[in-house]
Amino acid sequence: MSGPFSAIVAGLRHVGKMTIDGVWRLGFVTRFLFAVLLASGQSLTRIHLTIRELYFSGVLSLLIITVSGLFVGLVLGLQGYDILQRYGSADAVGVMVALSLLRELGPVIAALLFASRAGSAITAEIGLMKTTEQLKAMDMMAVNPIARVVAPRFWGGVLSMPLLAALFSAMGVFGGWLITVVVIGVDDGAFWSQMQAAVEFDYDVLNGVIKSLVFGTVVSLIAVFEGYDCEPTAEGVSRAITRTVVTSALAILALDFVLTSFMFRG
């Protein structure tokens, strides 16, 4: 009798421990966010620190974002045309491409790419600085590492995310136009005019921007936190990078569902 019973208890204990650990960690992240916000003054007064991070997170992500945006747009154009032409609405393909990108695919895929390209780099950089005692050295020189290292990287990520998502959507629309209008032969005027009529700035574009701001904040916070919190060993840094990518992806997709359910309920 004691065998199965103790197995159940052990299972429950494990679940309980994981829940407590998860809640504790969430609380820790929240406190860390407040510490970053409180130490953000320098990110504004010494703006070159933030601009440098904008370059590393934003400008260096341009290639992957533009190329991916283009290919997603090409595929959306093909699939959209294939489905819509069955109902004789091939002209509406522009609307479909634009709305899918602005509302969902732009913010979500750009954020996923951003987490794997820039988020992992931020975690690795901060984690290695911790491992090689650079953060401690800074602290011993009376320079707050959260203000000097963490906050500029956080703001660099938050600011570059909406810009990257916008660029992703723009490239996607261009890709959709390229495949449907130039290659397949959908009417150019119909493609653009239907898109212009159907896409609302306040509703579609703005909500997409809000989404990407939220994703940018979450991914940047996860990236800087995992780097700062990592175990200072080679293995610890590698685990922290993995956690950044996995946690960011899950957080982006879950938050996207929540945000969509508030924003686009028809």
Partner 1 sequence: MEFVATAAERDAPLVSLRDVRFAYGERPVLRGIDLSVHRGQVVAIMGGSGCGKTTLLRLIGGQLKASAGTVEVDGRDVGGLGRAELYAMRRRMGMLFQFGALFTDMSVFDNVAFPLREHTDLPPSMISDLVLMKLQAVGLRGAASLRPGELSGGMARRVALARAVALDPMLILYDEPFAGLDPISLGIIGQLIRRLNDALGASSVMVTHDVHESLEIVDYIYFVSEGRIVAQGTPGEIRASADPFVHQFVNAEADGPVPFHYPAPSIGSLLGAGAA
One residue of 142, 197, 235, 261 binding partner 1 per CB under 8 A:
142
230 to 41, 74, 204, 222: CA distances (angstroms):
25, 40, 38, 12
In contact, 141 and 245? CB cutoff 8 Å: no
Contact call for residue 139 and partner 1 (CB under 8 A) = yes
User: Least separation, in Å, of the C-beta of 128 and partner 1?
Assistant: 8
For the chain, the residue count is 266
Which CB sits closer to partner 1, 33 or 138? 138
Contact call for residue 134 and partner 1 (CB under 8 A) = yes
Contact region with partner 1 (CB under 8 A), list: 8-16, 134-142, 150-158, 246-254: 134-142
Number of residues this chain uses to bind partner 1 (CB under 8 A): 15
User: Least separation, in Å, of the C-beta of 148 and partner 1?
Assistant: 8
User: Least separation, in Å, of the C-beta of 122 and partner 1?
Assistant: 13
Contact call for residue 44 and partner 1 (CB under 8 A) = no
Contact call for residue 48 and partner 1 (CB under 8 A) = no
User: Least separation, in Å, of the C-beta of 162 and partner 1?
Assistant: 26
Listing DSSP states for 197-241 in one string gives HH--IIIIIHHHHHHHHHHHHHHHHHHHHHHHHS-SSHHHHHHHH
One residue of 45, 140, 201, 235 binding partner 1 per CB under 8 A:
140
Contact call for residue 1 and partner 1 (CB under 8 A) = no
CA 171 to CA 105: how far, in whole Å?
A: 12
User: Least separation, in Å, of the C-beta of 196 and partner 1?
Assistant: 46
One residue of 141, 235, 257, 266 binding partner 1 per CB under 8 A:
141
One residue of 82, 133, 200, 231 binding partner 1 per CB under 8 A:
133
User: Least separation, in Å, of the C-beta of 218 and partner 1?
Assistant: 26
Which residues of the chain form contacts with partner 1 (CB under 8 A)? 128-129, 132-134, 136-144, 148
